[in-house]
Chains A and B, each alone.
Chain A
Amino acid sequence: MTKRTGKWKVSFIFLAIMALFVTACGTGGGGSQTNAGQNGGTDNGKKVMLKFTFWGSPEEKKAVESAIKAFEEKNPNITIDSVHIPGTDFLQKLNAMIAGNEAPDISYSAAWKLKMGEEGLIYNFFDLMKDDPSIKKEDYLEYAWWNWEQDKSAGPYQASVVPSLMYNADMFQEAGVALPPTKAEEAWTWEQFVDAAKKLTLDRNGKHPDDPGFDPKNIKQYGVKLSLGWSSYMPMVLSNGGDYLTADGKEFRLSKPEATEALQRIADLINVHHVSPSPVQASSIPAPATALQSKKVAMIIDGSWNHLDLSKTNINWGVGVLPVIKDYKTFFLGGSLIIFKSSKHPKEAWEFSKFLTDPQNVLDLHQGLWMPQLNKWYEDPELIDEWANEELPGRPAGFQDAVMRSTYEHAEPSPENNVKNFVEIDAAVAAALDQVWLGEKTAEQAMKEVETKVKPLVQGTYLK
């Protein structure tokens, strides 16, 4: 009897292990394939598998995947195992991969990459550049660099985007409002901007904010929606002469009057003028392209990456320059491609990085989603024509003035790649600004309060 029991026990354990093993194989398929590819060595002709992590909207995902295909055709020995991760979860997932020794070879990256640079997890772009004469620092836009020290960089932007004002032209026509100007010199003053937004805002009964009996609780159509993140409010802060940190990089400057005044003006759009949705109301407004399409909003101030989604809708949309408070100021935004030191194929990763960074190779993406980060693409008329021709479906009327030139000529460094420790500072600032947008505190109060929290986090700047 006991023997039988023992047998049973053994076969049970065996079964259990088998079950686990089967699952492991069944599920780890993708992973083990990667390993096989990586162990294949780097010799020419042998297959190399690069793991590449990226984010983006469904449209961007498609576009990036087709760029990958083009790269693979050009480099038949390299296969890209692309892993799309939603932007909101991206950092967590990447950290989990790194901790699990599953770090990708190459990845999209945001501001947090600088910490990875300091921790020695990623390659210094300047080191990699030394062996490749085709890449020169001065070819790139002045502020399009992610450096964690003077001579250590996580690379230039692989492409740029900018804060952009997008609008539905039909809605302007219906309201009898002139379209937003496209030249920086002619940019709307704040008052003109508010005025236009008021005319474009309608409540449930078709009344405008200044009409008697306007019902701010039931707004059917908003004049303007801002993303309410730093990339939307910082141009206004800069325009009013403010900045994120003081010029010496030692102090928090968003709490100073020039900045708080600009922030207050944005908050007033929501709570005083009722032309813009609060974060609460924004939760029932769909993504920018859909919002303009469904006429929930007439103007949107958000990243230019929305142009791609907009071009897929069949609405009459356009772009204008951002409104100004004093001077026209804006900045380029962009991620960079980081190569992990754990990669077994840094060379191939470098090739892929170069490929995605060269506008010529990913012209599709540069005709609707991305903007180049190389100076010549903003200066050489022929090159401009390749990506910014307003006949292109992804480039609306006014694009060259309102987006390309206005930014190229008035670019400051973006706080994201200039301010040290930006991720944590911004987390604190964003939480405090919530109260401002909700009208619970003035910008001055909230920024003064958050200053004590931010003080120990301020560590200086990288670029300027």
Chain B
Amino acid sequence: MKAKAWFEKGLIYLVLTAGGIFSLLPLVWLIRSSLMNMGQIFELPPVWIPRPVQFSNYSEALTILPFGQYFVNTAIIVVFSVLGVIITSSISAYSFARMKWRGRNMVFGLLLSSMMLPYAVTLIPTFIGWSQIGLTNSFIPLIAPAWFGGGAFNIFLLRQFYLSIPRDLDEAAYVDGAGHWRIFRSIILPLTKPALIVVGLFSFLAAWNDFLGPLVYLNDETKYTLALGLQQFKGMYSAEWHLMMAAATVVLLPAIIVFFIGQRYFIEGITLTGIKA
């Protein structure tokens, strides 16, 4: 019996470790390749440790293309998107969670079903719309949607949080004569700070990782984001894997850093998504 339990435990750890290796190996391989020189990267059988460690790949990759400019562009888009999402999704979510108005459930239902709508369906008409008002090739089409509710997903997420706050609190405030805005600001918002952080983190990643959006809307090289810069890099330096891997690492790094800083919130946030299911 004991042997069996040991065996089971062992098996569990074995599978988990295998899964862990599967998750980490590609990233290890990325870093390893980014620090090698071209001769070594083509060596067969492959070696694991770069020798010598060639940090210059990074400086070379970063100087070939104006990655600094791309970084600034990406940062502008990310900052304004995240702001927009946080502000407008929290206000809207409050309305769906705490206020009663005619058509609320219908609107919320519509909003939820829009989550299932493939973005490809609205991609072309939205592009045409922006182009007709002459705003393509600017950051606005990439930022503006964040200022209009910030996406159904975030509203849904925040609404879940709001619903978990006992109603007694705002009812008491309401009796005291507080309006909705004050209840929202002084009761709900402070209590749901973690939720806002979750939303902020998710929208950071969404904006940082976006590829199709910038691809469709940004034409001018000087307006490119990091993701587009990376794609451009591939066109110019195909098969110079050491440089490509260094460039990819640079694009990946901020996402990883943000993830480790906000790790707890990430897990919490995703957990909440699943609850409704």
Using a CB–CB cutoff of 8 Å, the interface residues on chain A facing chain B are 1-2, 4-5, 8-9, 12, 16, 19-20, 23-24, 26-28, 30-31, 57-58, 83-89, 92-93, 96-97, 99-102, 204, 218, 283-287, 290, 294, 296
How far is A179 from B73 in the complex, measured between Cα atoms in Å?
50
Q: How far is the CB of A82 from chain B (nearest CB, A)?
A: 9
Q: How far is the CB of A96 from chain B (nearest CB, A)?
A: 6
Nearest A residue to B216 by beta-carbon distance? A96
Residue contact B235 to A19, C-beta cutoff 8 Å = no
Chain A residues contacting B135 (CB-CB under 8 Å) are 24
How far is A105 from B83 in the complex, measured between Cα atoms in Å?
37
Residue contact A20 to B235, C-beta cutoff 8 Å = no
Contact with A along B117-136 (1 / 0, CB 8 A): 00000000001101110111
Q: Would you list which residues of chain B between 174 and 226 have a CB under 8 Å from chain A?
A: 177-182, 215-217, 219-223
How far is A93 from B180 in the complex, measured between Cα atoms in Å?
47
Q: Interface stretch among B1-9, B102-110, B139-147?
A: B139-147
A-B contact pairs, 14 of them (CB 8 A): A1-B178, A19-B80, A19-B147, A20-B143, A20-B144, A23-B76, A27-B140, A85-B219, A96-B131, A99-B127, A284-B42, A286-B240, A287-B237, A294-B42
How far is A96 from B144 in the complex, measured between Cα atoms in Å?
19
Chain A residues contacting B223 (CB-CB under 8 Å) are 27, 30
Nearest B residue to A12 by beta-carbon distance? B87
Q: How far is the CB of B91 from chain A (nearest CB, A)?
A: 8
Given contacts A27-B76, A86-B232, A286-B238, contact A19 B83 (CB under 8 A): yes
Residue contact B80 to A88, C-beta cutoff 8 Å = no
Residue contact B80 to A23, C-beta cutoff 8 Å = yes
Q: Give 3 closest A-B pairs by Cβ, nearest first.
A: A100-B136, A100-B131, A5-B181
Residue in contact with A83 in the complex, picked from B132, B217, B219, B240, CB distance below 8 Å = B219
Chain A residues contacting B253 (CB-CB under 8 Å) are none
Size category, B interface:
35 or more
Residue in contact with A204 in the complex, picked from B44, B76, B231, CB distance below 8 Å = B44
Contact with A along B38-72 (1 / 0, CB 8 A): 11001010000000000000000000100000000
B137 is an interface residue with CB less than 8 A from chain A = yes
Chain B residues touching A, majority SS: helix
Chain B residues contacting A87 (CB-CB under 8 Å) are 235
Q: How far is the CB of B144 from chain A (nearest CB, A)?
A: 7
Residue in contact with B76 in the complex, picked from A26, A89, A93, A290, CB distance below 8 Å = A26
Given contacts A1-B179, A12-B87, A285-B239, contact A84 B221 (CB under 8 A): yes
How far is A213 from B138 in the complex, measured between Cα atoms in Å?
59
Residue contact B140 to A23, C-beta cutoff 8 Å = yes
User: Told that A20-B80, A96-B219 touch, could you supply 4 new A-B pairs with CB distance under 8 A?
Assistant: A4-B181, A19-B147, A92-B215, A100-B136
How far is A27 from B179 in the complex, measured between Cα atoms in Å?
39
B236 is an interface residue with CB less than 8 A from chain A = yes
Q: How far is the CB of A83 from chain B (nearest CB, A)?
A: 6
B269 is an interface residue with CB less than 8 A from chain A = no
Residue contact A1 to B140, C-beta cutoff 8 Å = no
Chain B residues contacting A101 (CB-CB under 8 Å) are 131-132, 134
Chain B residues contacting A26 (CB-CB under 8 Å) are 76
Instruction: Specify which of A20, A87, A296 lies most central, judged by the most chain B CB atoms within 10 Å of its CB.
Output: A20
Residue contact A24 to B140, C-beta cutoff 8 Å = yes
Chain A residues contacting B219 (CB-CB under 8 Å) are 83, 85, 93, 96-97, 100, 102
Chain B residues contacting A286 (CB-CB under 8 Å) are 38, 237-240
Given contacts A99-B127, A100-B130, A102-B136, contact A284 B239 (CB under 8 A): yes
How far is A431 from B87 in the complex, measured between Cα atoms in Å?
48
How far is A8 from B184 in the complex, measured between Cα atoms in Å?
12
Residue contact A83 to B220, C-beta cutoff 8 Å = yes
Residue contact A100 to B42, C-beta cutoff 8 Å = no
Given contacts A1-B179, A27-B223, A102-B219, contact A20 B236 (CB under 8 A): no
How far is A96 from B127 in the complex, measured between Cα atoms in Å?
9
Q: How far is the CB of A55 from chain B (nearest CB, A)?
A: 9
How far is A271 from B139 in the complex, measured between Cα atoms in Å?
49
